[in-house]
Amino acid sequence: MINLYSTQIESLSIHTVGNKGRGENVFYSKEPYQLNDEITALLKEYFFKPFREKEENYFHFSHEADLEFNPLFTICSEIFDMPDSIHENSKKITSHLFEQSSHPHIKSGEVYITYLSDVVVDNEKIDAIGIFKSELKHDFLQFEEKEQNIDILIRQGINVNKLDKGCLILKTDKEEGYKILSVDSNRYDTKYWLENFLGVNALTDENFFTKKYLKFCQNFAKDVVLPAEDKKEEVMFMNRAVNHFAKNDNFEETSFLNEVMDNPDLIPEFKHYKVEKGPKFSIEDVSNFPIANKAVSDARKKIKNTIDLDTNIQIKMDFINPESAEKFIEKGWDEEKQMYYYLVYFNREQKS
């Protein structure tokens, strides 16, 4: 888990990079930017906010031949070894980004390269390198008093509430290509940022497999359980799946299926669905892995635990106590009204 509240920006280099395919240029600042308290506070919010709001999906530098051939891995290793070299190395990073900026969709913009200290990862303070890019320009109004009137001036600038692209390269796990977090608000050129510029692959650790397997289960529930059973069973299947992950330290698929699959006839369906859809979630050959508790908590917040009815009534079920839905909700068919119904048992109404 990453915490950026105490993180300090030790240095900042700003350059601009154009679209090489359109004949635009690159501009390198001669010196690092001299930060002050006001600018630092604004930039910390601009740079770090997306990482506080986004799920922690880690990547790592990679290369099909050898990690040493990944340009950014080599540059970042040199910076971590000699932090004072970051400004000169920031020019190399910007040059590498410029070389990848030839597709018509890629926008010119400012590149900010920072050296960061006191990044807290799993309760340990480490250094990091931040690379951020602003692309989209927005119109804004400025007002100026002129004699006895007020003039309106139209200006262009960046929205400091929305970072276009950014990554944090954490000084940990160097042999595996460092741990990296990335954000990209503009989906039209994702390959350019992740693949062409950074050269990263998803880090396949317990966090990765926990998230991917639960997402796979969610799709199985929607595609197989719902058509075979009903909406209540779709919700309850995910309820049992999440609770199985929450109470175990390690995942074992056979144990999972025996405990979670209420209808044994769906076990072969699950295995067939995994053969068919598993590659999409990178779990086709995965049946055992350590469980990441935070990934389970994140998944629980996102999985819908309600039954929405066409009569504008919603039934919300408790993921913490799934036995309540099993014992106190019954589904039936009313011949007279020609409608389905849910029968809900309770002792008293809870006060809000």
- Assess if residue 208 is contained within a domain: no
What's the confidence (pLDDT) of residue 113?
98
Find, among 287, 317, 288, 283, the residue nearest to 300 by Cα.
317
In this structure, the answer to whether residues 222 and 81 fall within a common structural domain is no
- Assess if residue 308 is contained within a domain: yes
Q: Which domain holds residue 261?
A: 218-344
- Assess if residue 351 is contained within a domain: no
Among 203, 227, 260, where does a domain finish? 203
- Assess if residue 305 is contained within a domain: yes
More confident call, 186 vs 161: 161
Count of other CB atoms within 10 angstroms of residue 217: 26
Model pLDDT for residues 308-343, shown as the tens digit of each residue = 888 888 887 765 665 666 678 888 888 888 988 888
- The mean pLDDT of 89-114, rounded to a whole number, is 93
Q: Which residues contact 112 (CB under 8 A, 6 or more apart)?
A: 12, 13, 14, 43, 47, 130, 131, 132, 133, 134
Mean pLDDT across the chain: 90
More confident call, 55 vs 114: 114
What's the confidence (pLDDT) of residue 203?
86
- Assess if residue 352 is contained within a domain: no
What's the confidence (pLDDT) of residue 71?
94
Count of other CB atoms within 10 angstroms of residue 154: 8
Give me the number of domains the chain comprises.
Answer: 2
What's the confidence (pLDDT) of residue 309?
86
Q: How confident is the model at residue 190 (pLDDT cuts 50, 70, 90)?
A: low
- Cβ(296)–Cβ(242) below 8 Å: yes
In this structure, the answer to whether residues 187 and 251 fall within a common structural domain is no
Question: For tokens 């002129």, what's the residue?
Answer: 146
In this structure, the answer to whether residues 61 and 151 fall within a common structural domain is yes
Residue 188 has pLDDT above 70, yes or no: no
Q: How far apart are CA 119 and CA 7, in angstroms?
A: 5
- Assess if residue 267 is contained within a domain: yes
Among 156, 172, 203, where does a domain finish? 203
Q: How far apart are CA 230 and CA 23, in angstroms?
A: 58
Model pLDDT for residues 38-88, shown as the tens digit of each residue = 999 999 999 999 998 777 789 999 988 888 999 999 999 999 999 999 999
pTM, entire model: 0.76
Return contacts of 282-286, CB within 8 angstroms, 24+ apart. Answer: 282/202, 282/204, 282/208, 282/212, 283/209, 283/212, 283/213, 283/216, 286/209, 286/213
Q: How confident is the model at residue 251 (pLDDT cuts 50, 70, 90)?
A: very high
- The mean pLDDT of 204-218, rounded to a whole number, is 92
Q: How confident is the model at residue 348 (pLDDT cuts 50, 70, 90)?
A: confident
In this structure, the answer to whether residues 196 and 59 fall within a common structural domain is yes
